[in-house]
Amino acid sequence: MTVSRVINNSGYVSEKTRAIVEKAIKDLDYRPNLFARGLINRKSSFILVVVPDISNPFYADLTKGIEHVAQQRGYSLILSNAYWNERLEMEQIQAANGQMVEGIILVLPKLSERKIAEIQRDIPLVVVDRHIRSSRIDSIYVNQEFGASRAVEHLIELGHRDIGFLSGGTRIYNSVARQRGYERALREHDIEPASELILTGDFSFESGQRAFEKIFSMPEDRRPTALFAASDMMALGFLRSAFRHEFPIPERISVVGFDDIFLASVVNPPLTTVRHPYVKMGEAAMKHMVRKLQPDADISNGESLENTLIVRETTAPCCNE
């Protein structure tokens, strides 16, 4: 029982006893047999993590945060890719119910709050990167609108008024929230958002490239002097096409992304962006899951984290200044 408490980080164990057990585990290179333990306890120690697109570095790093805490607490992950598809999300969740999965972490789900609440009645669940209004569902989220607003204010402070927005889609929560922040910042500075400067992407590198082609084809006097992209991947696609067309950044157009993935800091020029604390979000999600799996778990409506504007070299004072 003492060894179990140390491995599962549950119940009281004195520091002296914990140190002895941990040393024995290390010396013996002990690895618990999760399958056998699951058959005995009817618990698998597996957590299902459903992400929209694991090829996006943002979700890969968020998953690393989940995994870091899971390993510390004796849990293993089953990772599923939903490809931004609500039907696939539901199929993966239904399949998990028959696999002795103890809990589910849903990253930016497309499922409705009503459907999420129904799932929660059957299995512990934590939602990541989306604010849920229900106080009975744990969610780890960031104020997307505030971060987007701060990005656009940065461009306005540099003298830009014709500012474009590249969205990630009209049905995705993060994209909609970031567009609200974009429009709010403009209106707070008496700038009316222009519909022709709002482009639709899908959070992919390729949609950023397509956005550049569309802006590049505009008459020069109607092009935006700055662009706020709802994700770094789209911003990087935009930068790539700009480079290929010998369209200098930020001399011809300033660009701001959102997420601060690793590539944002190493691309040339380094991308100005809004840092989304993805690793911390993953760690917080798994900590909430561990708490929910305790017999005496209380009800929580989640945790709000903060994002930060990171100014690098893709933004500059407006050419008209």
CATH fold of 34-142+278-305: Rossmann fold (3.40.50)
Per-residue pLDDT tens over the stretch 125-147: 999 998 888 878 889 989 899 99
> What is the C-alpha separation between 292 and 300, in angstroms, rounded?
9
Distance CA 146, CA 266 (A): 26
Enter the CATH code of domain 144-276: 3.40.50.2300
Q: What is the rounded average pLDDT of the residues 111-132?
A: 90
Rounded to whole angstroms, how far apart are CA atoms 100 and 44?
6
H-assigned helices in 141-293: 144-157, 173-188, 205-216, 232-244, 262-266, 278-292
Residue boundaries of the structural domains of the chain: 1-31, 34-142+278-305, 144-276
Contact (CB, 8 A) for 139 and 127: yes
Mean pLDDT across 260-281: 94
Between 33 and 31, the more confident residue is 31
Q: What is the pLDDT of residue 321?
A: 46
| For range 143-166, the mean pLDDT | 96
Same fold, 34-142+278-305 and 144-276: yes
For the ranges 98-107, 249-258, 291-300, the maximum mean pLDDT occurs at: 249-258
